[in-house]
Amino acid sequence: MRIPEELAEIGKKRIEPYPVEGFVYGSGPKHPKLMLVGEAPGETEIGNGIPFSGRAGKELMKFLEMAGVKREDVYITSAVRSRPYKWGEKNGPDGTKVKRKYNRVPTSGEILAHAPLLDYEIKHVHAPIIVTLGNIGLKRLAGKEKKVSDLHGELIVQPVMRLKGDQYEWTEKQYRLFPTFHPASIFYNRSLLELIHADMEKLRELCRNFPVNDQADQDKNH
């Protein structure tokens, strides 16, 4: 499944005012086992156009394996489809300072700019469970007050936020959300690894309980 080209163009236009670069499409089947919602692509992803193909992606693939699912069975997207960057300095080989771009967390304006893209994917990708990776995806879909540290590893059934005009509103439909940590979080906090492993065990069980093409069952809940 790929979002329509006109919508991608709208997304590219809406994000233009912000310090971001590149554009990565969400990718995966229309009826995946899971839909994964990350934060924003990084340098590797904007280079090759493949979501979660960099360092965080390698960790994510290990987590998916623990949950018993393969990359080709999941739809992978993120709240923002371009790489948010900031300028910083790094020591060059001869000791001089070299300017370079660093990744940063997307702002609420950037998330809003790409909200119609994620809204489209939520509507058209029929995943029995939506896994949010980190706080950005969780807050975007489940509400600003939600925190991954409180909710990780729990299945939550609730409406999600979608953009209507320039404001978010709640969908009538209920979705199954499964928050867990962003795979890059373990680079800064190794102790999260155990928690993520436990979350993946729970996710494995949930995938058994809610198999693919479970749409009819979900529709009963709205």
Residue from the set 11, 28, 32, 38 that interacts with ligand URA by CB under 6 A? 38
Q: Is 45 in the site for ligand URA (CB under 6 A)?
A: yes
Least CB distance from residue 100 to ligand URA, whole Å? Answer: 18
Draw the binding track, 6-35, toward ligand URA (x: CB under 6 A; -: no contact). Answer: ------------------------------
- For ligand URA, the nearest residue by Cβ is 38
Phi, then psi, of 102 in degrees rounded to 5: -120, 150
Q: Is 125 in the site for ligand URA (CB under 6 A)?
A: no
Identify which of residues 120 and 210 has a Cβ nearer to ligand URA in the complex.
120
Q: Which residues in 52-71 contact ligand URA (CB under 6 A)? A: 52, 54, 56-57
Least CB distance from residue 78 to ligand URA, whole Å? Answer: 4
- Distance (Å) of CA 97 to CA 11, 43, 88, 129: 35, 20, 10, 46
Binding-site size for ligand URA (CB under 6 A) equals 12
Least CB distance from residue 42 to ligand URA, whole Å? Answer: 5
Enumerate the β-bridge partners of residue 87: 101
Closest CA to 38 of 174, 126, 138: 138
Residue from the set 11, 26, 28, 41 that interacts with ligand URA by CB under 6 A? 41
Distance in angstroms between the alpha carbons of the first and the last residue of the chain: 24
Q: Which residues contact 27 (CB under 8 A, 6 or more apart)?
A: 1, 2, 50, 51, 75, 76, 77
Phi, then psi, of 98 in degrees rounded to 5: -120, 135
In which element (H, E) is residue 184 found? none
Q: Is 36 in the site for ligand URA (CB under 6 A)?
A: no
Structure tokens at 37: 């919602």
3-state secondary structure of 12: helix
Residue from the set 1, 3, 40, 74 that interacts with ligand URA by CB under 6 A? 40
Least CB distance from residue 219 to ligand URA, whole Å? Answer: 29
Enumerate the β-bridge partners of residue 5: none
Q: How far apart are CA 106 and CA 87, in angstroms?
A: 14
Q: Is 78 in the site for ligand URA (CB under 6 A)?
A: yes
Which residues of this protein are in contact with ligand URA, per CB under 6 A?
Answer: 38-42, 45, 51-52, 54, 56-57, 78
